[in-house]
């Protein structure tokens, strides 16, 4: 027995307008104009011989016939969407995984990259991204962007390869636990001298340099420093209240957002383009490499945009 063709475009417009209770919202979801949605609804009403919506003020509400129809088809559209997504996931899994090797400084890998990886991997199961945390990327001065078969490299410092592009800016400033800041009653940079100052090796700025910028001289009031490396260890020590760390807002992003660290003197830090992204010449045209590159750039842009 043959079945008459369904008016799928009209049904899709009706389902969206009924679910969202707005022709305008349905138009935005379907990438149509509100008049196009209205036109498709009129086509469906003409075919059914029923009034599906009633206008109320500037909006619309379902008529009793419209509500009955929506109750019957709404779940079907959900089932269709789920079936399509399931098929798409199966298709992505069926594709051969593409290995993309990313080399990055260890502190950035642990503090910034890894928290973002699960969402990326869920969206791109066809990409086998392998992260190599390399301390040399934070201490060398350029020239290794294509070594050892790497596809992408994140560099830290002032001397990235000429082909690298800016990825992330950071602000290095004093950071401490909120309880420590409140207990010490920090009102001016000099007040930090009475607290243990946490030092990390290879930092962009030393405590001496930061105090010098604030016009403060280290004297007998200086309580001393606590050397902790690498940066994520120093940041965690500050979270636990062991002292004040002079560190990057990029590496301390999670602790700052979670209010486990605060900046007692915002605006008194050093900001600069700290991280650079390079793509190996032999990898630039590979689809998976471009997907990872675009994701890194988009993640960095979202961080800047808040």
End-to-end CA distance of the chain: 58
Give the rounded distance of the alpha carbon of 258 from its chain centre: 16
41 burial via Cβ count (<10 Å: 0-12, 13-18, 19+): buried
User: Mean pLDDT over all residues of the chain?
Assistant: 86
pLDDT on residue 246: 95
Q: Give the C-alpha separation, 88 to 73, whole Å.
A: 23
Furthest-apart CA pair in the chain: how many Å? Answer: 96
- What is the token pair recorded at 289? 């490499």
Contact 47, 54 (CB under 8 A): no
Beta-sheet pairing, 53-56 with 59-62: antiparallel
Residue 52 DSSP class: -
Regarding predicted confidence, which is higher, 124 or 221?
A: 124
Contact 61, 53 (CB under 8 A): yes
Residues whose CB falls within 8 Å of the CB of residue 57, separated by 6 or more in sequence, listed in order: none
Q: 142 phi and psi, to 5 degrees? A: 85, 165
Instruction: Report pLDDT digits (tens) over 183-235.
Output: 988 999 999 998 999 988 877 888 989 999 999 987 755 667 888 888 889 99
Instruction: Report pLDDT digits (tens) over 275-292.
Output: 999 999 888 889 999 999
pLDDT on residue 159: 82
Q: What percent of the chain has pLDDT over 70?
A: 89
Q: Give the C-alpha separation, 177 to 239, whole Å.
A: 5
| C-beta atoms surrounding 11 within 10 Å | 18
Residues whose CB falls within 8 Å of the CB of residue 216, separated by 6 or more in sequence, listed in order: 189, 190, 193
User: What does the pLDDT average to over 79-95?
Assistant: 75
Whose structure tokens read 């290879």? 202
Residue 94's pLDDT band (boundaries 50, 70, 90)?
low
Judged by DSSP in three states, 185 sits in coil
Q: Is the dihedral of CA 265, 268, 274, 275 positive or negative?
A: positive
């Amino acid at each position: 027995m043959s079945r008459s063709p369904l008016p799928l475009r009209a049904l899709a417009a009706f389902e969206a307008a009924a679910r969202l209770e707005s022709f305008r919202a349905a138009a935005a979801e379907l990438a149509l104009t509100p008049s196009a949605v209205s036109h498709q609804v009129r086509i469906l009403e003409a075919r059914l011989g029923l009034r599906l919506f009633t206008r109320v003020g500037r909006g619309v509400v379902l008529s009793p016939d419209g509500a009955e129809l929506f109750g019957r088809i709404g779940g079907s559209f959900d089932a269709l969407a789920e079936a399509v997504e399931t098929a798409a996931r199966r298709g992505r899994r069926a594709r051969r995984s593409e290995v993309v090797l990313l080399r990055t400084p260890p502190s950035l890998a642990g503090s910034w990259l890894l928290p973002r990886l699960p969402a990326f991997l869920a969206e791109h199961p066809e990409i086998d991204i392998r992260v190599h945390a390399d301390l040399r990327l934070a201490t060398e001065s350029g020239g290794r962007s294509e070594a050892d078969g790497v596809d992408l490299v994140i560099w830290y410092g002032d001397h990235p390869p000429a082909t690298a592009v800016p990825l992330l800016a950071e602000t290095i400033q004093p950071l401490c636990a909120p309880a420590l800041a409140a207990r010490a009653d920090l009102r001016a940079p000099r007040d930090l001298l009475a607290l243990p100052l946490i030092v990390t090796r290879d930092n962009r700025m030393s405590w001496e340099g930061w105090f010098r910028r604030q016009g403060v001289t280290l004297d007998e009031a200086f309580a001393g420093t606590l050397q902790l490396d690498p940066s994520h260890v120093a940041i965690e020590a500050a979270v636990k209240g062991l002292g004040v760390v002079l560190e990057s807002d990029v590496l301390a992003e999670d602790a700052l957002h979670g209010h486990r660290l605060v900046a007692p003197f915002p605006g008194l830090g050093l900001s600069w383009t700290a991280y650079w992204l390079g793509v190996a010449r032999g990898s630039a045209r590979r689809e998976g490499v471009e997907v990872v590159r675009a994701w890194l750039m988009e993640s960095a842009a979202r961080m800047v945009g808040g």
